[in-house]
Each structure stands twice: as C-alpha cells, then as structure tokens.
C-alpha cells in the first residue's frame, strides 16, 4: 500500500468504532514481536492538558539530547502529527510500510478468531513498532480515551504514570461521575509504580489514592502553591516556581493561559521524578530550553495578528473555563467574535453557558464529523446568549465570512472541537499566504 491507501485502510476500520479492551491490541503487538516491551515510557492520562504536558516533557528530554517519541491524538492538520520523533512527524513512506505489515498481521488475527482491531488500536500498534524500530531513548505516550482499557495501556512498566486534570467527558463510555471517570483514568497506574497527579477535586483524588494503595504505587500530588507569575500575555508567560524542593527562576513558556503554567509544572514534576528516581540526566538549561521551545497547536494559539485570530480546542467545561479566563485576562474590553462548531456528544450546554456571554458576534458551523451538531441547531442554543448569530454549514465558507466581516483590531476565536480547529488553522494560514503573495 502507498500512504493514501494506508490512510484509507485505517479509516475503513472506523466502522469497528471505539472498543475498550486490551486483547486485540495485545494480540496484534504479539504478532509484531511485542515492540512496546523495549520502550521506556512516560504514560499520561486525564481529561484536559494531556497533550500539553506530553509536549513539555518530550521537548525537555529532546533538549538534553535524547531521542524522544511523542504519541498524541487526535491530529490537527495531518495524520502523521500523531507519531513524532524529536518533533518530526513519522514519514509517510513509513506509515505505508508499517500499515502494510500490520494489515497482514490482522488477517492472521482474524483467521485465529480475534476481533479486527479498531482505528486507534492499529495506530497505537504502528507507533510502538516505529518507536522500537527507531530505537527511542524515551517515549511520551498520551492515552487516547480513559486509561484502564485504552490500547496504550498494554505498557506493563512505565517509568511513571501521570494523571492531569480530570473532568466530565466521554460520559457515555467512561461513566457519568467524576469518580467513575477517575477510576478509568487511574487504570494506567501500575503495581509498585508511581503516579504524578494534578491536584484533583476530592471525588477524583479519593479514587486515585485508593487505586495507588491497592497497587502499592507512590502517589505524588503536584503542588501549585509555589508559583510566582512575573509576566503573562498573549505572547508568553514567565514565572518562578519551586518543584519537589528545587527552585526555578524566570522559566518562560509560549503557551497561553494559567492552566498552561500548571501543565508545565506537571511536566517539571515528571522530569524531576525521572531525574531523582530513574537516573535520567536532565540539566536546568535543557528544562529552560525545552519549556520555551514547546509549541502545542490548537490550544489558545494565535495564528493571525490583524485581526487577532486565536484557535482553541475547548470542547468541555474545564476547557471552556480555561479559555474564558484567558480571554478575560488578555482582552478585558475588546469586542470578541467566535467561530464555533461542536460534536453532539460533548457537554454543549455547559460550554455555551461559560463562553457565550463573553462574545458580541457568533458564527456557527458544522465540523466535518458524523458526530457533529448542525450549525442551525447550535445557533438556536446560542441565541439565548447572543443576538448576532450567523449559521454557515461549510467550514471554509464560515472562515471566509468571519475574516471578511472582521476589522483589523477585532479579536476572533475559533473553538469547540479539535476536529474543526485544525481545518480552520489550515484555511486561515492558506488565506494569509494568498494575501502575502
């Protein structure tokens, strides 16, 4: 298969849906020679901030000179973003080569009576195979959904398990309470291991501590009390902090929002743990450079200056709160426009209640996803908060309309779905290139 045929093969497995469980992934990896067993893994679960934490950790290790794999999902603009080595996407020819091999192994599995793997299981197996082949020093692995039965959880002995902020999301799959969701996420904690845990609400904290006790795992709560923010605007943030007893001065990150300072502190706890307990050498200089050089597209990311155009993947209550706080802090007296599209299975009402009162103008659109809520239905929900609401189904038309009706000093936000903002990012960048020519 070539690259396009490989992507089609992967996409065609979408019909198998989401299937939580490790049997299928385990069998596929066994047929591939169990490549995951040769990897040194930092395993990260949670609801909000997983990708940012993973990116901070991977960049710090990369700056120290290690060869680092970074596995994340979903992708924003191109499939190959999901599997990276030292910041570079997996080459398309490697995707084609490995998927061709995996297709043969899946035929063997199915003939032996196993279920055909889902899309995520196949991509995870490809990542493990590629990282083993490329001889990674370390792999930073983001959980896809939940934790306990997520296909990444075939990893038996991670260097450390990390649990970032947990809130209600995927309630149809993971459970309808914070406690049930926390239990699923805490499933990545291993016997006699260690868990670095974001400060959670009490219901989640109690569940995670109980799992740690059952597994004789160390519970390490991240402390956010010793942070002094010196600068915070739409371009960067500078702060001092104390992490596990060590003082860091004038750390700078380019990611925006108070929550990103917290995410960087989680990453610092991970690095400190690896340094102090797993003999991983990391200098202060690598920490400083790694934090500064971390980019995480689609998370309060400025993609255009005049008008200011910011994209953010806020699609649940916590994400909406983080975006709202950043807007309040950086644009207190500005007229704001939002281009929004959402998936129907998200907590739409909570997101709208938090975000919509801050906007003067709203454009709704329909993400290119079979789980999307229609732009008209979303418009009806938003009309009780904002008078000026326009529904435009096609995303390209919606982006054009938004930019054509904006003044130079306006601030535009696009949010609601990671599946949508990647397309918006591409379209705005393409429009910029046309203008510059």
State the average pLDDT over residues 327-334.
90
pLDDT tens-digit readout, 211-259 = 999 999 999 999 999 999 999 998 999 999 999 999 999 999 999 999 9
- What DSSP letter does each residue of 395-436 carry, written as one string? HHHHHHHHHHT--TT-EEEEES-HHHHHHHHHHHHHHHHHHH
* Distance (Å, whole) CA 53 – CA 222: 13
Give CATH superfamily name and number for 301-436: Mur ligase, C-terminal domain (3.90.190.20)
The two structure tokens encoding residue 330: 């950086």
The pLDDT of residue 318 is: 84
Three-state DSSP state, 301: strand
The pLDDT of residue 175 is: 56
Between the CA of residue 340 and those of 159, 166, 361, what are the distances in Å? Answer: 39, 24, 11
The pLDDT of residue 17 is: 53
**The tokens 């993400």 sit on which residue?**
367
The pLDDT of residue 399 is: 95
Residue 91: DSSP 8-state = P
CATH architecture of the domain covering 3-292: 3-Layer(aba) Sandwich (3.40)
The pLDDT of residue 16 is: 56
Buried b (16+ CB within 10 A) or exposed e, 16-42: bebbbebebbbbbbebbeebbeebbbb
Q: pLDDT tier at 416 (50, 70, 90 boundaries)?
A: confident
pLDDT reading at 57 higher than 80:
yes
* Distance (Å, whole) CA 156 – CA 35: 12
**Measuring CA to CA, which residue among 224, 302, 295 is closest to residue 51?**
295
Domain boundaries, the chain: 3-292, 301-436
pLDDT reading at 163 higher than 70:
yes
**Measuring CA to CA, which residue among 384, 346, 345, 337 is closest to residue 364?**
337
Q: pLDDT tier at 425 (50, 70, 90 boundaries)?
A: very high
Phi-psi group of 294: left, alpha or beta (phi > 0 → left; psi -120 to 50 → alpha; rest → beta) = beta
């Amino acid at each position: 298969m070539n690259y396009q045929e490989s992507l089609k093969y992967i996409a065609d497995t979408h019909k198998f849906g989401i299937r939580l469980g490790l049997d299928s992934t385990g069998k596929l990896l066994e047929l591939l020679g169990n490549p995951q067993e040769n990897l040194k893994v930092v395993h990260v679960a949670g609801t909000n901030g997983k990708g940012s934490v993973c990116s901070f950790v991977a960049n710090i290790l990369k700056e120290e000179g290690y060869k680092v794999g970074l596995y994340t999902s979903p992708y924003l603009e191109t499939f190959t973003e999901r599997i990276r080595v030292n910041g570079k996407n997996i080459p398309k020819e490697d995707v084609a080569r490995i998927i061709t091999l995996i297709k043969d192994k899946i035929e063997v599995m199915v003939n032996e009576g196993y279920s055909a793997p889902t899309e995520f299981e196949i991509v995870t197996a490809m990542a493990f195979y590629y990282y083993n082949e490329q001889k990674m020093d370390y792999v930073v692995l983001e959980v896809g959904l939940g934790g306990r039965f997520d296909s990444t959880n075939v990893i038996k002995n991670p260097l450390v398990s990390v649990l970032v902020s947990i809130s209600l999301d995927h309630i149809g799959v993971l459970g309808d309470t914070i406690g049930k969701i926390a239990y699923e996420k805490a499933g990545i904690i291993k016997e006699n291991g260690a868990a670095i845990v974001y400060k959670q609400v009490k219901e989640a904290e109690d569940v995670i501590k109980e799992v740690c006790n059952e597994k004789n795992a160390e519970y390490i709560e991240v402390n956010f009390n010793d942070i002094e923010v010196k600068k915070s605007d739409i371009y960067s943030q500078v702060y001092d902090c104390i992490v596990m007893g060590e003082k860091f001065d004038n750390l700078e990150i380019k990611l925006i929002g108070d929550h990103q300072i917290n995410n960087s502190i989680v990453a610092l706890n991970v690095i400190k743990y690896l340094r102090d307990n797993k003999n991983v050498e990391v200098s202060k200089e690598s920490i400083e450079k790694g934090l500064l050089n971390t980019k995480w597209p689609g998370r309060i990311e400025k993609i255009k200056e005049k008008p200011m155009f910011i994209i953010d993947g806020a699609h649940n209550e916590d994400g909406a709160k983080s975006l709202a706080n950043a807007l309040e802090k950086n644009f207190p007296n500005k007229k704001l426009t939002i281009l929004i599209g959402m998936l129907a299975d998200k907590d739409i009402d909570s997101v709208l209640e938090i975000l919509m009162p801050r906007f003067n103008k709203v454009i709704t659109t329909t993400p290119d996803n079979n789980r999307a809520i229609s732009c008209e239905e979303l418009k009806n929900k938003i009309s009780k908060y904002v008078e000026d609401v326009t529904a435009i189904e096609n995303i390209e038309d919606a982006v054009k309309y938004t930019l054509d009706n904006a003044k130079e000093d306006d601030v535009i936000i696009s949010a609601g779905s990671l599946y949508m903002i990647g397309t918006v990012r591409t379209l705005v960048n393409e429009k910029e290139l046309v203008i510059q020519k």
